[in-house]
Amino acid sequence: MFGILLSAYQLTGHAAGFALSEQSGSGLGNAYAGAAAVAEDASTIYFNPAGMTYIEGRQLVGALHTIRTSGDFNNRGSISPTGQPLGGEGGDFGGWAFLPNIYYKQDLTEQLKFGIGVGTPFGLKTEYNRNWLGRFQAVKSELKTININPSLAWKVNDQWSLGFGISAMWAEAELTSRANIGTGPGVKNKGDDWGFGYNLGAIYQATPDTRFGVAYRSKVEQHLKGDVRSPFTQANGIPGSTLNTDISADLTLPETFSFSAFSHLNDQWELLTDITWTRWSQFKELKIIRENGSNTTVGPAITEHWNNVLRYSVGMNYLYSDTIKLRTGLAYDDEAIDNEHRTARIPGNDRIWLSLGASWQYNPQTKLDIGYTHLFIKDARINDDQRPTRGLIAGKYEGSADILSLQFAYNF
């Protein structure tokens, strides 16, 4: 499983900050509206483990999300570091990405259910041309995660279901830039770690046609360890200046809280809604420490000033026939980053999701889902002044993203 996930991994964040909402192919068609209440298949293990009580028998779900992002920087008065040429605008820092997830659920007793999910809840990749004008602040920024999430659900009675899960999350970060030394050699910082967290959920069946879900995912603290490497070796004998040494960095991945509703309006229509809160203020600082006794940073420590945010979504399903369901959804996703604190490494902004999808119940055991989303991303302004050594990046980012998801669910 690790090999499949890592070989397919090339990501840019698609929710606020660098969170990834793409945890279900069926949910994409509704822009993940109602995700903590709908409990349509085993992908509920991620969104609300209590939903496993609504799924009969054993089920295996696999999804693949194909993502195309595009992004461009437009210079509006950037200034190069002293003695360096300015450089270009960086090219398209987006690209193609392929993101899989897989879930398995089974009954332990009539009331107690077990499931396990494997996916990537956080991810980021931005990469500019090597000689762009902001090369001394950022060239490549990449975060990879893999989350293993065993879970239990308990059907308390006909109205209440409860769920609990444990997360074991691996994270790896790589940050590169150019050093303002002579011709500017490249500097690569890379480290990884395992962190642990948990998730809780509950579903209340208010009427035979309407249910409400709440879900909470805890923060996960990572203490990344790795090394910094550069072809510039003249400072190797100076512990507080060397660009070739072991390093560490702390990373806190934020907690989330979701409230969802799902309702059968009549024989043909279903309504789904969701509000999700993410505590991005947990991501306080980007600081890389040399682990060679000098207790110094590689480059300046950057205070992030990120905000807690809300994501709102609403969706509709149309039951075209006994075997075909058509989906649509709309979401508004707040960005955690203010204009005055935006950096070239994570240049995101508010976005609107417009989603379509369909389900086909091929036979009683097999269901296929397809979903498509276009993300309209608000233009983002940047004015990151790190003169005299790293220059001023001033201008505007423009970007968008398209996501196509395929999902297979099999009951046995």
**Band of pLDDT at residue 15, cut at 50, 70 and 90:** low
The enclosing H or E element of 140 equals: strand 140-155
Mean pLDDT, range 37-59, rounded to an integer: 97
Confidence tier at 3 by pLDDT (50, 70, 90): very low
AA identity, residue 57: G
Give pLDDT, residue 166. Answer: 98
> What's the whole-number mean pLDDT along residues 67-74?
94
Asked if pLDDT for residue 11 goes beyond 60, the answer is no
C-alpha to C-alpha distance for 278 and 198, rounded to whole angstroms = 15
SS3 assignment, position 44: helix
pLDDT higher than 60, residue 14:
no
Tally the C-alpha atoms within 13 A of residue 45's C-alpha that lie toward its C-beta. Answer: 29
Contact 71, 398 (CB under 8 A): yes
pLDDT of residue 82: 87
What are the φ and ψ backbone dihedral angles of 306, each rounded to 5 degrees?
Answer: -80, 155
Please give the pLDDT value at position 33. Answer: 98
Percent of the chain with pLDDT over 90: 88
Question: Does pLDDT of 132 surpass 80?
Answer: yes
Indicate the pLDDT class of residue 6, thresholds 50, 70 and 90: very low
Q: Where are the beta strands (DSSP E) in 179-322?
A: 186-207, 210-217, 220-229, 245-253, 256-264, 269-278, 285-286, 289-290, 302-303, 309-319
**Strands 324-333, 186-207: parallel, antiparallel or unpaired by DSSP?**
unpaired
**Is 30:260 a contact under the CB 8 Å cutoff?**
no
Residue 160 pLDDT greater than 90, yes or no: yes
Contacts of 268 (CB under 8 A, 6+ apart): 318, 319
Look at residue 7 in the predicted model and tell me its pLDDT: 37
Residue 97 confidence class, pLDDT cut points 50, 70, 90: confident
Residue 32 has pLDDT above 60, yes or no: yes
In this predicted model, what pLDDT tens digit does every residue of 295-327 receive, in sequence order? 999 998 988 889 999 999 999 999 999 999 999
d(CA 357, CA 405): 9
Q: Over the stretch 274-283, which tens digit does the pLDDT of each residue have? A: 999 999 998 8
Q: How far apart are CA 323 and CA 36, in angstroms?
A: 24
Predicted confidence (pLDDT) at residue 360 exceeds the cutoff of 50: yes
Evaluate if residue 9 carries a pLDDT over 50. no
pTM, rounded to two decimals: 0.93
Q: How many CA atoms lie within 13 A of 354 on its CB side?
A: 6
pLDDT at 377: 95
Q: Give pLDDT, residue 13.
A: 52
Question: Which of 408, 270, 248, 274 shows the shortest CA–CA distance to 332?
Answer: 274
**Tokens encoding 274:** 């969701």
